[in-house]
């Protein structure tokens, strides 16, 4: 069996590292759950097949820089994912210093503080890794208390509500907007241009 990629960080609750091809089966298993998909964007595969997991792993690992990672339990079992992507107007336009945080966690791992811990460390890693990063956006479906806790624990500030902004499974909901800026973390030694 091939060695697993080196983690970008390890905490007492999780390991966050680049994907390994051998993660595909475990990712497909935990992602193919209606409770996980319930608050994900429609582009999240449904059903989440082994082929979908293999595609995502290849896509994530071939990016430059790599911005999407697997979230594992302390014993290195894939439990979910975390990553960043460009926001609209980010490519050489007005939002060039902003990325958006995305994450999901298999339901059998909910309520253990895994994603809150992963997100908290991940955003600090991102600001340290990318000196031109000014802001990280986060957004959730209104009423998703678990995800709201994740963002608040990571240091995000709740900035507002976009009313009737999301349609998922035929239901229209609000989108709660969060933001984290580099200055929010300056007391923690995260520096760089801003």
CA distance 87 to 29: 29
Instruction: Return the SS3 of 72.
Output: strand
Give the CB-side neighbour count of residue 168, counting CA atoms within 13 A: 19
pLDDT, tens digit only, all 194 positions of the chain: 678 999 999 999 999 999 999 999 999 999 999 999 988 999 999 999 999 999 999 999 999 999 999 999 999 999 999 999 987 655 666 667 899 999 999 999 999 999 999 999 999 999 999 999 999 999 999 999 999 999 999 999 999 999 999 998 899 999 999 999 999 998 776 765 44
Sequential DSSP letters for 54-66? HHHHHHHHHSSS-
Structure tokens at 19: 């994907």
Structure tokens at 182: 């580099």
Domains, the chain, ordered by start: 9-188 (3.40.630.30)
64: left (phi over 0), alpha (psi -120 to 50) or beta: beta
Contact 152, 140 (CB under 8 A): no
């Amino acid at each position: 069996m091939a060695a697993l990629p080196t983690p970008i960080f390890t905490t007492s609750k999780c390991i966050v590292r680049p994907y390994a091809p051998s993660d595909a089966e475990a990712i497909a298993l935990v992602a193919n759950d209606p409770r996980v998909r319930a608050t994900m964007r429609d582009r999240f595969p449904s059903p989440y097949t082994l082929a979908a997991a293999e595609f995502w792993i290849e896509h994530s690992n071939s990016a430059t820089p790599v911005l999407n990672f697997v979230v594992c339990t302390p014993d290195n079992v894939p439990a979910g994912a975390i990553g960043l992507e460009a926001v609209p107007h980010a490519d050489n336009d007005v939002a060039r210093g902003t990325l958006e945080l995305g994450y999901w966690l298999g339901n059998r791992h909910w309520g253990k503080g895994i994603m809150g811990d992963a997100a908290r460390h991940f955003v600090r890693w991102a600001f340290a890794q990318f000196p031109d990063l000014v802001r990280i956006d986060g957004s959730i479906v209104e009423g998703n208390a678990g995800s709201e806790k994740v963002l608040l624990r990571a240091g995000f500030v709740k900035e507002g509500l976009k009313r009737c902004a999301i349609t998922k499974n035929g239901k229209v909901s609000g989108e709660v907007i969060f933001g984290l800026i580099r200055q929010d973390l300056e007391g923690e030694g995260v520096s760089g241009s801003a």
